[in-house]
Amino acid sequence: MAEFTMELNDEQKEVRDWLHGFAADVIRPAAAEWDEREETPWPVIQEAAKVGIYSLDFYAQQFFDPTGLGIPMAMEELFWGDAGIALSIVGTGLAAVGVLANGTEEQIGTWIPQMYGDQNDVKVAAFCSSEPDAGSDVASMRTRAVYDEAKDEWVINGTKTWATNGGIANVHVVVAVVDPELGSKGHASFIVPPGTPGLTQGQKFKKHGIRASHTAEVVLDGVRVPGSCLLGGKEKLDERLARAREKAKTGGERVKNAAMATFEASRPAVGAMAVGTARAAYEVALEYATTREQFGRPIIDNQGVAFQLADMRTQIDAARLLVWRASWMAVNSRPFTAAEGSMSKLFASETAKKVTAQAIQILGGNGYTREYPVERMHRDSAIYTIFEGTSEIQRLVIARTLAGMPIR
């Protein structure tokens, strides 16, 4: 077990500086354009692929960092560059992780390379879980997958929403209900290969922020996939469903808490994204405050501005520490006895909204225009309190954990 530390080692610093350089030189100069276009920034993704950032190997190296700091460090630097473009770069990772977590070695080797493509022909993948009536309430999912034993095929019907890369992806990973009586325990994940009939893009959302990231509905109408596209295989699914049916009778609440631990472990990464956006806005505000003069002196000489900057920096550092603690706990299999994963996501996301708003205030009228990036950063920051569980859901998880109550 790696000791918890707030000091990056030499290798981590090298990776951080490399990512920061890419964010500064490639992502930031393109940010305003792709925000206005509201389109997937394919040229930037291709550049990320050429240097090795857009690849499974890179994210695997960070994920298996024994200190737990690899992923949050990478997320912070990329999202410091721009949240919309960064999400376009890391969005495929959601689907890849779904396959890594549940797939067989053959499925991993077959499908993950197709998710990324190569530097000359980059691809993206989509993870499709949320539905119009099932966001935080995953037990209400309606998309159904029914096994056709005669053809060894699964038939999937339903509509997914808020899918990053939905409809434009080369490979879709779809979560569907296979046993409605088991609630969230009756779900399974399926690969939908490229060009599969019946899968279409529904509404593409025109969003308040993260506009460079493609978000859309995915409609599945009689989609048929081979039995080999069930992640983990049918034998493993049948065994898991049988265990779930038994535990539902005797220890269902314990199963729910164990499942929640998995969600807890993923939330610090979103917190790190929020830290990156908050830090970017703070740095713009700090530079502006030290160079903008009013009444013959820099505006940072005014306590009203200086104290805001002091609070902003304090909140950012506190958020990062919560994210790093939770990330270290997750990689070292430490139990989240106080919902530390949700704590990190809650505090970091709320900090991003607050800090970006303060940055606009410090820049005054300039901050409200698109000539300065803090306006875009403020719009982008709103998403952190919504996806991967709203702030209200995080508070509910924390409160119920502290009270020793089951999390539903």
Which one-letter amino acid corresponds to residue 49?
A
DSSP-based three-state secondary structure for 1? coil
In angstroms, the CA 168 to CA 128 distance is 12
Predicted TM-score (pTM) of this structure = 0.91
pLDDT at 264: 62
12 CB burial (10 A radius; 0-12, 13-18, 19+): middle
| Rounded (5°) CA angle 58-7-3 | 85
Structure tokens, 198: 């019946």
In angstroms, the CA 113 to CA 96 distance is 9
DSSP β-bridge partners for residue 78 = none
87-105 burial, b at 16+ Cβ within 10 Å, e below that, comes to bbbbbbbbbbbbbbebbee
Residue 172, H or E segment: strand 171-177
pLDDT values of the chain reduced to their tens digit, one per residue, 408 residues: 678 888 899 999 999 999 999 999 999 999 999 999 999 999 999 999 999 999 988 988 998 899 999 999 999 999 999 999 999 999 999 899 889 888 999 999 999 999 999 888 999 999 999 999 876 666 678 999 999 999 999 999 999 999 999 999 999 999 999 999 888 789 999 999 999 999 999 999 999 999 999 999 999 999 999 999 999 999 999 999 998 888 777 655 444 433 344 456 679 999 999 999 999 999 999 999 999 988 889 999 999 999 999 999 999 999 999 999 999 998 888 888 899 999 999 999 999 999 999 999 999 999 999 999 999 999 999 999 998 889 999 999 999 999 988 766
Residue with tokens 């890369």: 165
DSSP-based three-state secondary structure for 218? strand
In the set 153, 287, 388, 392, the catalytic residue is 388
Q: Is the separation of the CB atoms in 30 and 44 below 8 Å?
A: yes
Active site residue 149: no
pLDDT at 261: 46
Which DSSP symbol is given to 8?
-
Helix spans in 105-202 (H) = 105-116
